[in-house]
Amino acid sequence: MFDKHDMKIHTYLENPRIQTDPIVTTNPTKMNIIIPIIPEPVRNIMDFTLLVAGTSLNALLTLIIISNSSMYTSTNCYIVSLALSNLTILLEPLQQIIRWIFDIDLMMNLDYIFLVSFGTSILTIIILNIEAYVVICQKNWHLHKSLVKISTAIKGILFIWIMCIMVTAMELNLYDHYEKEIVHDIYVSSTVMFLIFPCFIFIMLDCFILYDLIISKLIIGTWPNKDIERFVSLVGITIGFFLTMIPYRIVRAIDLLISATSCCSDTTIEIVYTMVKMYPMILPIIYFITSEEFRQALQTMLRC
């Protein structure tokens, strides 16, 4: 049903024990398999570095937000959700490191892990954009106070995770019951849905926010500091996500659309796949650079 070239997304094919029929394979990952091009020692060191750095930065980010009551805001709730999504991504390098050091294969279903992480991240960033638009441009809206409540943020986060878990399970179930060409169409359609509409929302809301900030600058003579900080932080997180997480989905979708010509080499796929594992480091760094509140909380923690 799937040939070797068609099954190369996320799990490294160290031992070619994957059957041609994904339903009878002993590996729980049926679609997300890549053919390794980077030498194994180099790849192991890269995975170890990404795992340690990503886990440390996201754990520090979450710890600082949780331990400072002044940072209990709806925005930081969504940031914590993104950090948890990042830790989900790091399950893949964790699997590789355990296999390298202890020679134990955890047999994770990385199809499920990566699709859930991708969906929760992009939907959370969409909500962050909507919240920023309401806070900056709709200060007098009657639903303003309700949208920025922590309880509302927690409900939104739970809804996002539950929906992504269910939708991903249904999508992977379809992969088991359709022919290769239909599976490719499903994956490409999912990619388009999670790229076209979010990009439209990001561009539209950011343009509205930027316009409102420019008008405020003309009226009061200076940039509103808190609004500018929120906007810059949001743009940085969005750009970081699109530069690291999106290229892989685009490359893989193009490769499946015109699989007969093999437009994307194994090297290209592995490079953009490695970029996905770099995103867990990008988010905390961007938030540290753009958020003065986070920097002050970190300095207070270091002094204590």
Summarised one tens digit per residue, pLDDT across range 120-177 is 999 999 999 999 999 988 888 887 888 889 999 999 999 999 999 998 888 888 777 7
**What integer best gives the mean pLDDT of the chain?**
82
pLDDT tens digit string along 210-245?
A: 999 999 888 888 888 888 888 999 999 999 999 998
Residue 278, both tokens: 């770099």
Alpha-carbon gap, residue 270 to 194, rounded angstroms: 21
Residue 121, both tokens: 């991240």
Q: Contact, 125 vs 282, CB < 8 A?
A: no
Q: pLDDT band at 29, cuts 50/70/90?
A: low
* Residue corresponding to tokens 């709709």: 138
Give rounded-to-5 percent helix, strand, coil for the chain: 75, 0, 25
Query: Does residue 196 surpass a pLDDT of 70?
Result: yes
pLDDT tens digit string along 81-112?
A: 999 999 999 998 998 899 898 888 877 777 78
- Could you tell me what percent of the chain has a pLDDT over 70? 87
pLDDT at 142: 80
pLDDT tens digit string along 62-78?
A: 999 998 888 899 999 99
Q: How many CB atoms lie within 10 A of CB 236?
A: 18
pLDDT at 53: 94
pLDDT at 78: 95
**Residue 288 phi, psi dihedral angles, 5° rounding:** -65, -40
Alpha-carbon gap, residue 95 to 10, rounded angstroms: 12
Q: pLDDT band at 4, cuts 50/70/90?
A: very low
Q: pLDDT band at 263, cuts 50/70/90?
A: low
Alpha-carbon gap, residue 118 to 231, rounded angstroms: 22
Query: Does residue 80 surpass a pLDDT of 90?
Result: yes
Domains of the chain: 39-303 (1.20.1070.10)
Closest to 128 in 3D by CA, of 230, 274, 241: 230
pTM of the model: 0.84
pLDDT at 31: 59
